Structure 1
């Protein structure tokens, strides 16, 4: 009887263990995240570099839409520069020693801020302070770019080492810029050749 009584005490414990042992093991559920779908749902934020690349691409496309000028024969001593999507043409001119100059052609829609704004930008490149619009317009000289009447401006750095001759030629919907810049001795020696080159050029 004592044995039976002792066994009865352990029946509840055996029952609990049996019930617990019969329960199915908990399942581990895993989820797979589709990275492609996530990237589509959350596009990357634009960076300054991306914004700059997009702006350059837009400017390149805009420049291409204005067509390509027709140039006369390349002057002696001028070397065609490396291709550049932002330019319609560029030439390198070497002088004595390491002295050199560059002639670059660009085009932009509209007046790009007006004559005074562009001349002051070139002045800044030479380390010169801004000038008032009246004095800038008074310094302009009339020149020809093919059949188009244009304005030229001559600027020299305070130390006399750098010189720029820039020409602005307006068209129906754009402004063409022709800039000969570099070491003073080279630019001054090539100014007449530069202006003659523009006279025989033809804008699209």
Structure 2
């Protein structure tokens, strides 16, 4: 797959707008401000194809990218407390509509912040994917913000915290220095050929 052939396609705010799922999809999920856009930009080798928001909870759309004939889907960040009830309801409807519309999802890249214990929402998302039989990997973002000793400690702790996930599928990642990028690309490629 040529990641340099990445183009933004369209954003959708309600599930009834979602296009038919006739092409293989790789979805990216995680809390607001966990670094989904930074990961996508690193994968695409672009500075700002995926819009990085300075305001958490800003992305409440599903954003589609065409990547060399595959669809990469940036799901809205969850867990942002300051959303109004109507926005939270719309978010829930959008996520449910995406996952329960029989889409051709080959892999979900679930992002968690490596510096902290995964949130209840993170655990809920992982549980949901296991129940729905959706293949996923866990990418631990912001790894570069930890000192070496701290990094080693968190790497061990996160594998224990996420004991329900195969430890080979938990990847520390840094958008600053590219740590973990090759493994993420390898697992995406593997999901497309499985």
Alignment TM class, shorter chain as reference: under 0.3
Select the structure of larger CA radius of gyration: 1
TM-score by length of 2: 0.24
TM-score by length of 1: 0.24
